[in-house]
Amino acid sequence: MCRDSSVERVCEVAVTRIVSVEDAEALAAVLRANREFLAPWDPVRDEHYFTVEAQRTGLEQVLDGYARKAMVPLAIVGEDGHIVGRININGITRGAFQSAAIGYWVGQSSNGRGFATAAVAEVAAIAFGELGLHRLQAETLLHNVGSQRVLIRNGFQPFGIAPKYLKIAGTWQDHILFHLLAPAQ
């Protein structure tokens, strides 16, 4: 359950869970409903991307990555258990690096309600707890102030700008790089 504090909305129960192939229909519906809202923050998507079939294929791929321990694919769920977004731990690298990246989104009707902040906190706990990672990285567009606030609330620090880092909304765009180190052991 999420509640409002004097500063921000705080979620006190888990807001993430591992995705399943059965999520394809719900995920396609959320993506279709948020197509325009997410477009400025996403790569250009073709019509097929918003279908149940494409989402099922995508879920099968991320679950294969999860089985290979290369990533952790999660759904962000609202108080009613319905999917309101996604968050992934991507590119898990072992050896001397012990690092991964995170990426996330929340639909418009759930935006600003604390779900992304809670999901990032849960992902950091997974990364530094059960995965034993040393570092997480995240990137935001320069003008994505909301996502930057989510990261900063979770202790991430900006450490640089990557020029023309990702092709978002059809254009190569600069991104602010953020990182979070595991708590001292």
Beta bridge mates, 88: 73, 103
User: Is the pLDDT score of 7 beyond 60?
Assistant: no
Confidence of residue 67 (pLDDT cuts 50, 70, 90): very high
- How do residues 76-133 score in pLDDT, each as one tens digit? 999 889 999 999 999 999 999 999 999 999 999 998 899 999 999 999 999 999 999 9
Answer yes or no: is pLDDT of 12 > 80.
Answer: no
CB 120 within 8 A of CB 8: no
- Asked if residue 40 has pLDDT above 90, the reply is yes
Question: What CA–CA distance (Å, rounded) separates 128 from 144?
Answer: 26
Give the per-residue pLDDT at 91.
97
The confidence score (pLDDT) of residue 79 equals 87
| Distant-in-sequence contacts of 79-84, Cβ < 8 A, 24+ apart | 79/1, 79/2, 82/26, 83/23, 83/26, 83/27, 83/30, 84/30, 84/109, 84/110, 84/115
Q: pLDDT tens-digit profile of 22-32?
A: 999 999 999 99
For residue 10, pLDDT beyond 80? no
For 164-183, give the DSSP string: EEEEETTEEEEEEEEEEEPP
Structure tokens at 52: 């149940």
